[in-house]
Chains A and B, each alone.
Chain A
Amino acid sequence: MGEKNNMAYTKRFDGRKFDETRKITAKVGVVPNADGSAMFAFGDTVAIAAVYGPKQLHPQHMQNPEKGIMRVNYQMMSFSVSERIRPGPSKRSTEISKISEWALASSTLLGEFPNTVVDVHIMIPQADASTRCAGINAASLALAHAGVPMKDFVTSVSIGKMDKQMVVDVIKEEEDYEEGEGATDIAMSFMNRSGKLVHIQLDGKISHKELKEAVELGKKACKKIYEIQKKALKEVQENTGGKN
């Protein structure tokens, strides 16, 4: 046990501060055909998202006469990771699509668009962990770019616990950390204004006290990420008047 304590996670693999995200890049307006689109990157984890709609939903039996619905599809490109991913949906991508949909749909106001659908397509060309968070962040930007009415803006981040050390924006090496208590990976998304959680997932082992800390840390990190997202939206407004 003594030895393991020596191995405590005192320095991050990539030299970042514990509460520091990787370099964030955000660009709005990357798919001209879409009503809204964006690219969002945490370092080497890159996501692009495109939004089409609100538009008439077919088949008709799927329509909701009370409000518009949202469909999110998350997909990794085959060459986004070392071992090629076979094209087509997997259990993992199906689940991530749904949790992203739950996170994003809660921020939008689709009550005024009955019988319609907003399609959100997320693709990951390059992955180094936290892809769902990058995907949600790209999708939020794309929704805002498309002018879909929103009551709040969703931002997502991953918090890790390496042995006992809390870190912001987990990379693959950290996901695979095995020393001490090992790695706990917590992906979460917040609405910025209300501060409410709209998505949280956890894999690992963590005490309830630490989990509270993790959520607090995540919320702080999201505030900073949101500033960068806002800047990207302003840039596209200034450069193009919001048009593609």
Chain B
Amino acid sequence: MIEESNLTTKRIREYLEHGNRFDKRNPEEYREIKIEFGVSKKSEGSAKVKIGKTEVWAGVKMEIAEPYPDSKDKGNLMVTAELTPLSHPKFEYGPPKFEAIELGRLVDRGIRESKYIDLKKLCIEEGEKVWQIFVDVYSINDDGNLLDAAFIAAVAALKDAKVPFYDKKEGKIDYDKPSKEKLPLTENEPFNFSIYLIGDKFILDPTQDEENAGDGRLVLAVTPTKPISICSMQKSGEFEISEEKFSEILDTVEKTHKIIFSKIQKLVESSAKK
């Protein structure tokens, strides 16, 4: 088992020396992305996202909660990720491991820092009552790059979400009453790039084998200003990176965003019509 995966890693690195990947993609090329709305009618909004064979489902639930002491006039956002044993035998039940915690936090920070949700509009009574948004993400099949898939799914679920009916007198939410009120979303729709560093090369949208062959990843969430702005970032893994390489990565991200972001918009539009 170990020998086999070492061999794969060796091959992936050799291929990449010549700019090649097993599935013939360019280093910065994504696999085919599919977006489908509606995992659960009981959620406020939900979406399924596939990148190649990787699949993630996300759902939004909303409740009334107290605001955080440092943001008394803003709604709350919480993103949680579950890396399910259903999606890959390497995942186990039990308290979330670092990988799941980091994934949830990265999606959380990317969405939060982009200011994609106008959280001030989700305040009901300052200091007392605000909307709490839960975005829960589940892995369904892991073939690498769960993070970018989770991010797309979370954003799509937010787009799909309708604010449930809140009866102020009763102080209760009526989840069954149909609602058309969308979430207050801004034009700063974030997109996440997981960049895997492999030797002195880097790739986007890694497969599972490529992830295993990588030295680590650089995660960037960006918003669609022209040129793009970076709203959150994390270097994860024990590896070194030169300033030149770093700047090369930023240029690639800027270039790739132009292509992928409009692609995502089209996919969302066409699945929303269904």
Contacts and interface: CB of A to CB of B under 8 A. Distances in A.
B141 interface: yes
A125 B136 contact: no
A125 B57 contact: yes
17 contacts: A31-B55, A33-B87, A33-B89, A50-B86, A52-B89, A77-B40, A77-B59, A79-B40, A79-B60, A79-B61, A82-B176, A89-B93, A119-B85, A121-B84, A121-B86, A126-B41, A126-B42
A121 B86 CA distance: 5
Given A46-B40, A79-B39, A121-B86, 14 more contacts: A30-B140, A31-B55, A32-B141, A33-B141, A50-B87, A78-B134, A78-B136, A79-B46, A79-B59, A79-B134, A79-B136, A80-B43, A87-B82, A87-B136
A81 B142 CA distance: 25
B205 to A, nearest CB: 17
A231 B41 CA distance: 27
A31 B87 contact: yes
A219 to B, nearest CB: 30
A82 B88 CA distance: 28
Interface of B: 39-44, 46, 53, 55, 57, 59-61, 63, 80, 82, 84-89, 93, 95-96, 134, 136, 138, 140-143, 175-176
Nearest to B135: A79
Contacts of B143: 32-33
A89 B143 CA distance: 26
A44 interface: yes
A75 B82 CA distance: 12
Return the 10 tightest CB-CB contacts between A and B, nearest first. A79-B59, A79-B43, A121-B86, A82-B175, A84-B61, A126-B40, A78-B136, A50-B86, A125-B39, A79-B61
A84 B45 CA distance: 13
Interface of A: 30-34, 44, 46, 48-50, 52, 55, 73, 75, 77-84, 87-89, 119, 121, 123, 125-127
Nearest to A127: B42
B80 A33 contact: no
A73 to B, nearest CB: 6
A77 B57 contact: yes
Contacts of B41: 44, 126
Chain B contact residues, majority secondary structure? loop
A77 B136 contact: yes
Contacts of A75: 84
B165 to A, nearest CB: 12
B85 A125 contact: no
A33 B42 contact: no
A118 to B, nearest CB: 12
B80 to A, nearest CB: 6
A73 B93 contact: yes
B136 A31 contact: no
Contacts of B40: 46, 77, 79-80, 125-126
A123 to B, nearest CB: 6
Nearest to B93: A73
A8 B10 CA distance: 72
B171 to A, nearest CB: 15
A100 to B, nearest CB: 14
B53 A32 contact: yes
A44 B40 CA distance: 8
A33 B89 CA distance: 8
Contacts of A79: 39-40, 42-44, 46, 59-61, 134, 136
Contacts of A126: 39-42
Contact of B134 (A31, A84, A119, A127): A84
A28 B18 CA distance: 40
Contacts of B82: 87
A31 B80 contact: no
Contacts of B46: 79
A75 B61 CA distance: 17
A31 B86 contact: yes
Nearest to A77: B138
Contacts of B141: 31-33
Contacts of B59: 77-79, 125
